[in-house]
Amino acid sequence: MANKGLLTPEESLRSIHETAVRVLAEIGIRSDHPEMRDRLAGKGCRVQGERVFISPELVAATLRAVPTSFAIYGRSTQDSLVLGLDETHCSNTGIFPNIYDFESGQIRRSTLEDVKTTTRLLDAMDHVHAVYVSLVDATDLKPYMVTVSDFAAVLANTTKPLVGPGLINRAEAEAVIAMARAVRQGGAERLRTFPLCVPFVCPVSPLYFPKDIVDAMLVIAEAGLPLNALPNPVMGLTAPYTIASTVALGHAEVLALIVMAHAVSPGLPVLIQNTPSVADMSSLASTTGGPETGLIRRTVIELSHYLHIPACAHGHTSSAVLDFQAGEEKALNGLLIASARPALLGGLGALANVTVTSYETILLDNERVGALLRILQGVQVDADHLAFEVIAELAQTGSVLSHEHTLRYLYADEVWKPRLAIRQGLVGGAPQPETSLDRARAESRRLIETYQVAPLADDVQAEIDEILDAYDRARAIR
């Protein structure tokens, strides 16, 4: 069916979903994880070697058991964020190996110190409701220590709920769960009751679920933490070169992850983050800046509403610098996604097809997110907002500048007030010498120098350090 509008018709969403279900039933998934194959066989799936065929009935029964919303918590169990179908919250993106050096302006590899500093900046941003673990990677560490050290650094530098980290094997997942339990100071049940993070796993498109990835997913599910199901098919490389088929393939991988997680922990909360990108066919680079990315990820969010499961999507850019292209692509893709009302709107901090960031980007994107959230509020129509009597007075006086109604709404949320954008246009016939980028840079410097996050309790930090040391020793022996 041709769709000539921005909203995907329900029949089209049904067709995408049914295609994904058919993929699982007739093509199946591949996994070299014997235990998971046995679990799925016990659920009635047909198994042939490493290929598992998942029945439509099992998919349907599993989806009925997925919660329509769930809460995640910050350091304090008093600070919760509900991810559901009714409200959109915002987050950063990640996980970048590069950052623009704040002093030289040159791109360099990101470090553990950058993880700490960017996390503190994210903690200071009013429109970052959950912190994605982590904006940058500590590339100065041993490779196997990067994810666990990133997680520990984020725990120490924000009090907000967390999305991530991405986990790739059992040992990594067990270390992350142990650190999360240390923060909760109450063992496994307290973390299950007050989840601190939503870890994610990524299958290998198309339809391959390696043993290590399944192991990581098992640890997450057994701990009772919400699972972020995050496939990343690339349109034209690991998925067919059409939007509908790319979404359907990623959706099939999401459904497979949900079925596997529920085979371990029935009723486990899930966050859908089907995150396709588009291949540039001249270079074979995976790109995220074109309008197709926004359309793909908007469709993913619409599918999540069709299934009544919360979802996350990120609006990105292919530009490697803070220029017109970066602002345009992020605004277009962000608005496309936001207007579908995701549970979590990500993308803050990204440049260059999610490979680099800068401190200024964090602040500029936080402001853009504020504008998107204002757009989502829409136009309120009631007697006071229609202001018939004020119009009548205006017809007599010619101005309502000092009217009580004007002053009242001046201090309300009717008009969004940016902190960095310059709205005055020409001043004295010339543009202002200061730009929004200048303001973002100055405010970044101020926050880096002055903004502090309360440290973790000494005993908690000591336990996390012990977990990292034990993990390092165990991996170094291998």
Query: What domains appear along the chain, each with residue ranges and CATH number?
Result: 10-61 (no CATH), 63-377 (3.20.20.480)
Instruction: Look at residue 13 in the predicted model and tell me its pLDDT.
Output: 97
- Better-scored residue on pLDDT, 298 or 413: 298
Has residue 169 got a pLDDT over 90? yes
Has residue 3 got a pLDDT over 50? no
> Is there a contact between 276 and 252 (Cβ–Cβ < 8 Å)?
no
Instruction: Look at residue 5 in the predicted model and tell me its pLDDT.
Output: 47
pTM: 0.94
Listed range (51-60, 133-142, 145-154, 184-193) with the worst mean pLDDT: 184-193
Instruction: Look at residue 6 in the predicted model and tell me its pLDDT.
Output: 54
What average pLDDT does range 102-116 have in this prediction? 97
What average pLDDT does range 85-106 have in this prediction? 96
